[in-house]
Structure 1
Amino acid sequence: MADLFCDVKEILGFKYRYFISSKGLIFSMASGKLRQLNPSMRDKNRNQYLFVRLELEGELKGVNIHRLVAENFIGPKPSDEHVINHKDGNKQNNDASNLEWTTIAGNTQHAYRTGLAGGRKHGSYKGPVCAENEEGFGYVFFDSKQAIEAGFNPNSIRDAVVKPCKKLFGFYFSRINNTGQIHKGVQS
């Protein structure tokens, strides 16, 4: 515990009420005693960033822990175009040694390079999508880029695949499995 306190700093802007360690642990002195705060997850299905609620001028404010660590141990945000990158891809590893400032483009490149982002090489890739109209004409999309190039919004395609009876721009969308079979939904 002693070496933990060597890496603890006051969180600026909170009047000596909150402290942060370089490991991403948050401590409060609000009650007069030092206690560790338990982080929460913003959206368990989506971004998985840990955050804490800190009181500022009578209001609770949700703050991402990785941002607090970066600002207090790495340095201020270099520009508005910069974001925080988790080097190991684990959004819950908020150790200062795992964080770095990068551009949005750099963060995206890192995600693809390490296999964190979608696409055919990603573990969550579900297979290509087939778009077919009533005359049998269609497209096959292997990734979002191809869908965009054909003039479709990938998010709309995803919704149409989830609700297979939904027609989008005259097309029905379905997923092609790894054996080449098209999984069509009920079309009305």
Structure 2
Amino acid sequence: MSEIWIESKTLAGRYMVSSLGRIKRMAHVSTTLSGITKSYPERLIQRAKSKDYPRIILKVDGKAKAYLVHRLVAEMFVPNPNDLPCINHKDGDKSNPHPENLEWCTHQENMAHAAATGLSDCAVPVQSAKHGLGMWFPSLESAVRHTGVSKPCICAAAKKRQKTAGGMVWDYAASGMFFGDLLGEEAA
């Protein structure tokens, strides 16, 4: 695949974004407050070190700011006709900012994808068992609302960092999972 570069309007026309997820500063001339003119050559920008999503630090309008590489790529190369707020990595790999791996989505769709691929630490849906009775919740937030058990406690129990939360055993439910699966029973 050949690399395509597009000038970013988001970045004050000073930077270009590539289809391979690279960012470069465009050549430009700048004059300081003291009247000195300086030429800056075109230059590739190195990504900032991060355990999370790859990001770069760019100076726009005189201020340094961190930008997520995948968001810049999606804004330039992935159509967003429905004005959706989130960007999903189809393959679940945060370090893969190629346009064919990115898609615009809602917050809900992004969370559902994270849950389905095992990427979310506190994925939805969740379920609990107490005294042999099962409860299934469509989301972590729903479980918090209905049980009064805090989100961090439910997550810790579901991740097996602690045995119970609110006196209940918790687990992440797979789509279509029968509650007996949590209790070690067969579906009827």
TM-score by length of 2: 0.60
Contiguous gaps of at least 5 residues in structure 2: 28-38, 171-188
What's the offset of the Cα at 1:27? 0.8
Query: Cα gap change, 1:156/1:50 in structure 2, threshold over 3 Å: closer, same or farther?
Result: same
3-state secondary structure, aligned to 1:85: strand
Counterpart selection for 1:71 from 42, 63, 75 = 75
**Do structure 1's residue 106 and structure 2's residue 103 form an aligned pair?**
no
Show the counterpart of 1:27.
24
Please, which runs of 5 or more residues in structure 1 have no aligned partner? 121-127, 132-136, 176-188
User: Alignment identity in percent?
Assistant: 33
Matched residue, 2:88: 85
Offset, 1:77: 7.0
- After TM superposition, the structure 1 stretch with the greater mean CA deviation from structure 2, 67-76 or 150-159, is 150-159
Aligned residues: 152
Partners of 1:108 and 1:77 in 2: CA distance: 21
Asked if the contact 1:77–1:101 (Cα under 8 Å) also holds between the matched residues in 2, the reply is no
CA distance in 2, matches of 1:65, 1:76: 17
Q: Which deviates more, 148-157 or 60-69?
A: 148-157
Letter of the 2:5 partner, please give it: V
**Does structure 1 conserve the Cα–Cα contact (< 8 Å) formed by 2:80 and 2:104?**
no
Q: Provide TM-score, normalisation by structure 1.
A: 0.60
| Match for residue 39 of structure 1 among 44, 47, 60 | 47
